[in-house]
Chain A
Amino acid sequence: MSASTSTTHASLNKEKHVRYWLRCLKTYLPSVYISNEAQRMSLGFFILSALDLLGALHTRITASERTEYADWILRCQHPDGGFRGFTGTMTGEENTNEWDVANLAATYFACAALVVLGEGMDRVKRKECLEWVKSLQRANGSFGEGIGKGGVVEGAEDMRFCYLATVTRWFLRRGEDMDEVEDINVEGLVEWIKASVTYEGGIAQAPLHEAHAGFTYNGVGALMLLGMLPRHTDKSKNEGTMSAEFVENVTKWLVSRQTLMLHEGDELPMVDDEPPDMTPKFFPRTFHVQGAFPVSVTDAILQNASVEISTHDLQWAGFNGRCNKVADTCYAFWVGGTLGMLKREHIQDFNAIRYYLLDKTQHMIGGFGKLPGDGPGPFSSMAIEL
């Protein structure tokens, strides 16, 4: 569509991204990351995995350094199975107090990081970990994130935990010696995920909540690893999997996330805010934006043929996470990744999202920001290096 335009697009500044991630790995993250301390394991995984994807983990880091990073991860392993997200709750080498507990997200990221490091699962207490994961499942099929006092399952009912439990099981439940470990209730989990599919076609944090791209990734990802996606071209082999209707509806919901609305200013302010600025920069001159986000209720219709979408504007299209929201870097991963799991990635406008990321959110010092003009951060950047 936009082949005729002459804009030159940015490319991935690979060396700058490598240096950004090496800085994250080898120096202290700044003090503002104190509020992320409990997620150190996930930050650690993002850093290692980004370097791996950029081809630098085995060239710019020595083997002994890689072993030491693995040692730190294993230091966080809980004696009763699972991993902590950081060392901050540990009060001694041997004894663990009852507030020093394993956390599901940390466990998933620890396993994933050990794989990336080439360490594998040899030093993981696989049996204990699988039993601990099973203990996190509730009667309704959903998972919590940890075990609190008196064996209570802690944490909200949350699609993220279902995904994390499913992947951890996939990492660890391998080989004959694991068959003796009692499995999670797969059927109950699938039912709970089905109940979280909303009337819009996407998946929510929990039943009846709003469809959201992150939770849709989690739900579809869990279904994929449980063998519940109908991925065979031979339809008779898809028996017992999710319906074709589910796949069509979620596909439509996912492609609907692609949007030209790239800035907060493209959204209409709430009534209590300042009146909207009516200048063209506020409402880019494309009918998509003008039509979808009307200046006033009476204008709220698509403009007629006099305003065509310009091929210029169509070059950059990000993804949002929910209906009628602004685009955000991270959803390129959540939406694109989910379409990939459904083997439908060709249905998105790949160039438009690529140029959105490279031209609009890539940062001059390396890394990617959340929104155009934002500084870089490991969360957004990792989503994109993937």
Chain B
Amino acid sequence: MGKYSDSDEWEDIVPIPQDDGGLNPLAAIAYTEEYSEAMSYLRAAMAEDEKSDRALGLTEDIIRMNPAHYTVWLYRADMLFTLQKDLLQELEWLNAISLKHIKNFQIWHHRQVVMSHIPALPPTEIAFLARMLAKDAKNYHVWSYRQWFVRHFSLWDSELPYVETLLQSDVRNNSAWNHRWFIVFARYTDPKQHSIKKGDADSEIPLEIMRREIEYTKAAISTAPQNQSPWNYLRGVLKIKGMGLVELKDFAEQYADLEKEDEVRSSHALDFLADVYAEEEHKERSAKALELLARRYDPIRKNYWDYRRSLLGLELVGA
């Protein structure tokens, strides 16, 4: 009595029940009858490596109940390609599951496997990804997939304006900042080596792009100075460029003037300046910035700022 045992479609199949061994299995689960039955038919189908519409339907049933079942996805993908199924239809089916199970690795990997068999960019894909990110703008799986997708279909140029709209609606979206980094710099990386192509970084990445990135990031900081994402981005750009942080000393001092201790507007500016002053060998000033962080503007990381101060090699002042 069940969906499969009662069905004429499956009557030639002898289901294989689960054998969990002795009396003390680990992490045993109270299976529903529906799941147990479907799994018994799945085992039978997999044992014969059956490729059929009914087996595809069965994998759909299992995935609905257990989307993290790692082999059912492989079995399904193999059937889709062997039976030459409509892959666009598969994507549509995946859309619904993806919206339901937001945090699942397998679903997105399967999407990538299916998409790599589709020759041209499906017209609905961009809209679907936007919908996923509207649900959670920091969904790691979606961003990871999106990187692959941008590279696969060479969508570099259309992607930057999209990232900017996301940053406009939330300038603290660190995933969007990271994606910006990918869009701007991954073109200059060798996907096999995963590093900036050998040779002088300046000759690879046009200077106007570096300037554009610095200006964009400075503008983002000016709208929300106490936001670590663009400060990290700025440090990253300066490093690729081979520039010292000193170049942006005046900019950072707008947000943290050591002469006006009460008017510090960004702890990240203080941190930035602590490094600038250390670069300039102004150890006392650097120490003062770190003390302000430890004592007043970022006391949650007091131990860290004290550690950084100790690296300057100065005598400890009485607290």
Contact = CB atoms under 8 A, between A and B. Distances in A.
Interface string A52-79: 0000000000000100110111010000
Interface in A284-343: 288, 291-294, 297-298, 300-302, 304-305, 308-309, 314, 317, 322-325
Contacts of A39: 68
B78 interface: yes
Given A37-B69, A38-B68, A43 B224 contact: no
B300 A322 contact: no
Contact of A206 (B109, B144, B169, B192): B144
B226 A291 contact: yes
B67 A91 contact: no
A79 B140 CA distance: 35
Interface stretch (A8-16, A129-137, A146-154, A359-367): A146-154
Contacts of B89: none
Contacts of A308: 296
Interface of B: 16, 18-32, 35, 39, 43-44, 46-49, 65-71, 74-75, 78, 105, 108-109, 112, 134, 137-138, 140, 143-144, 147, 169-175, 178, 181-182, 186, 189, 192-195, 223-229, 232-233, 235-237, 239-240, 255, 261-267, 296-304, 307
Contact of B178 (A31, A75, A210, A258): A210
A238 interface: no
Nearest to B73: A154
B19 to A, nearest CB: 7
A298 B171 CA distance: 12
A85 B70 contact: yes
A30 B66 CA distance: 14
Given A100-B71, A154-B74, A210-B178, A40 B26 contact: yes
Interface stretch (A163-171, A217-225, A228-236, A347-355): A347-355
Contacts of B239: 199
B29 A34 contact: yes
Nearest to B193: A195
Contacts of A252: 304
Contacts of A30: 29-30
18 contacts: A28-B29, A29-B30, A36-B29, A40-B27, A65-B24, A72-B20, A90-B43, A145-B70, A156-B112, A208-B194, A209-B143, A209-B178, A255-B304, A256-B301, A291-B226, A292-B226, A301-B226, A347-B303
Given A33-B29, A300-B227, A349-B302, A148 B74 contact: yes
B158 to A, nearest CB: 18
Interface in A102-156: 103, 113, 140, 145-146, 148-149, 154-156
Given A44-B27, A268-B172, A323-B229, 8 more contacts: A28-B30, A31-B31, A73-B26, A99-B46, A156-B109, A158-B105, A199-B240, A201-B232
Interface centre among A155, A292, A300 (most CB of B within 10 A): A300
Given A44-B27, A75-B21, A293-B172, A199 B47 contact: no
A302 B264 contact: yes
Contact of A1 (B31, B138, B169, B302): B302
Contacts of B143: 209-210
Contact of A297 (B31, B140, B224): B224
A4 interface: no
A89 interface: yes
A31 B29 contact: yes
A36 B170 contact: no
A199 B236 contact: yes
Contacts of B236: 198-200
A149 B78 contact: yes
A252 B302 CA distance: 12
A370 to B, nearest CB: 11
A72 B181 contact: no
Given A39-B68, A208-B182, A297-B224, A348 B303 contact: yes
A328 B194 CA distance: 31
A111 to B, nearest CB: 14
Interface centre among B27, B49, B138, B263 (most CB of A within 10 A): B27
Contacts of A207: 189, 194
Contacts of B266: 291, 301-302
Given A91-B46, A100-B71, A300 B30 contact: no
B262 A98 contact: no
Nearest to A195: B194
B75 A99 contact: yes
Contacts of B16: 91-92
Nearest to A256: B228
List 5 A-B pairs, minimum CB-CB distance, nearest first. Answer: A199-B236, A44-B26, A300-B224, A195-B194, A68-B24
Contacts of A100: 46, 71
Contacts of B173: 324
A278 interface: no
Contacts of B233: 199
B300 A297 contact: no
A28 B193 CA distance: 47
Given A210-B140, A302-B297, A71 B68 contact: no
Given A29-B28, A208-B186, A268-B172, A1 B194 contact: no
Contact of A72 (B21, B108, B232): B21
Contacts of A1: 299, 302
B181 A208 contact: yes
Contacts of B300: 258-260, 288, 309, 314, 317, 349, 352
Nearest to B46: A99
A35 B233 CA distance: 38
A270 interface: yes
Interface string A79-93: 000000101111110
A155 B109 contact: yes
Interface centre among A34, A40, A103, A113 (most CB of B within 10 A): A34
A3 interface: no
A212 interface: yes
B226 A302 contact: yes
A72 B25 contact: yes
